[in-house]
Amino acid sequence: MFKQAIDKRVAVFVAPGLEEIEGLTVVDLLFRAGIPCDTVAITPERQVTSSHEVTIVCDRSIADEGFSFDDYDMLVLPGGIPGTPNLRSCEPLCRALLDHAEKGLPLAAICAAPSILAELGLLAGRRATSNPGFQHVLDEHGAQLLSEEPVVVDGPFVTSQGAGTAMLFALEIVRHYLGDDAVERVRAGVVLR
Amino acid sequence: MFKQAIDKRVAVFVAPGLEEIEGLTVVDLLFRAGIPCDTVAITPERQVTSSHEVTIVCDRSIADEGFSFDDYDMLVLPGGIPGTPNLRSCEPLCRALLDHAEKGLPLAAICAAPSILAELGLLAGRRATSNPGFQHVLDEHGAQLLSEEPVVVDGPFVTSQGAGTAMLFALEIVRHYLGDDAVERVRAGVVLR
């Protein structure tokens, strides 16, 4: 049963070869918190297969008639290979990331995906983290790298390290919208001590 | 790239209303470890929707021509409501759980799903855990309840508490087949410290 807690919506972008746990943990915890969230395929086909051969059927595609990035407050980028380079190659998505950042809207990325925000110039001077294998990209683009933190929040940016930190990443997104009490409720619901 | 490490296969059973993270975290980590694993729908339709409205396309259905529970070494039960009662109502699955247990083959269950093993009489005298809301079922059926442990292994049984413990649950399944070094490799891969 979904009890909607806020009017804003979150989009989790789904590319072929995504790390499915990084994307779906966000969907799961936001559902529990009552934060509207859509899985959005960056391909015209809404059925997308992950890097671990899990096929999911997304709620929408960016190619759908009437789709607009402006329907969403926060844009979330899961990692995975080749999911991350596939997101990076999606020009409409990259334009939307720049546009959202310009408006001060929140952006979240995990694992390899913070490198996309870095390459777009959005993390310069920002505290951030990513998968250890991609931290050099953040460093090269002027981020203040917090290499050991599982998740880092700096203003509208939420960044995190990998599938093993996806719960903490998702909880920071819950905190962004609903605060500490909601985080504690969701954390208890998933039995994360 | 999947590099197969063992000849045995694992089945993750997928029912409408499953907790998708509990099922897919196992799929993800077993893929990383090289342990063959199928998502198996208990419905004739292989496309199944989770308790958080995530639709996944399973690898197989128990209704497929030629499907046999004997194709699998370990049977894994994710939780979720109504996923768990849906698994409990699936007679072919429950018979297979009893048959597997009789043969000493491994069974794993998380969240509400250990209650299925308990109700089938399989956890009597066994150390086990589950979601706090279902621990009374384990207790009533003679399990040695370890109420605070995120994951418990007793012989062929692996039980765990919820989505927030799904990584630890999946790592114990990796350990069952491949030992401690493989667990450390997978843990590093997902950046779980």
- pLDDT by residue (tens digit) across A142-161? 999 999 999 999 999 999 99
Helix, strand, coil shares of chain A as percentages rounded to 5? Answer: 40, 20, 40
- Cα–Cα distance, A177 to B16 (Å, whole number): 29
- pLDDT by residue (tens digit) across B74-106? 999 999 999 999 999 999 999 999 999 999 999
Active site residues of A: 111
pLDDT of B1 higher than 80? no
Average pLDDT over residues B157-177: 98
- Binned at pLDDT 50, 70 and 90, residue A1 comes out as confident
Q: What is the structure's pLDDT at A43?
A: 98
Is A191 in Cβ contact with B131 (below 8 Å)?
Answer: yes
Indicate the average pLDDT of chain A: 98
ipTM of the complex: 0.97
Q: Let me know the angle formed at the C-alpha of A166 by B3 and B161, rounded to the nearest 5 degrees.
A: 90
Residue B102 C-alpha, separation from nearest chain A C-alpha, in angstroms: 31
Q: What is the structure's pLDDT at B173?
A: 98
Q: Is-contact B91 B70, C-beta < 8 A?
A: no
Q: What is the structure's pLDDT at A193?
A: 86
Q: What is the structure's pLDDT at B193?
A: 86
Which of A56, A131, A163 has its CB closest to that of B56?
A56
- pLDDT by residue (tens digit) across A66-108? 999 999 999 999 999 999 999 999 999 999 999 999 999 999 9
Active site residues of B: 111
Is A187 in Cβ contact with B27 (below 8 Å)?
Answer: no
Q: Please name the residue that has the structure tokens 């807690």.
A: A5
Any chain A CB within 8 A of the CB of B67? no
Average pLDDT over residues B60-73: 98
What is the number of CB-based contacts under 8 A between chain A and chain B?
Answer: 96
Return the H-helix or E-strand segment holding A186: helix A166-189
Q: Which residue of B has its CA nearest to A161?
A: B191
The model's pTM is 0.98
Any chain A CB within 8 A of the CB of B165? yes
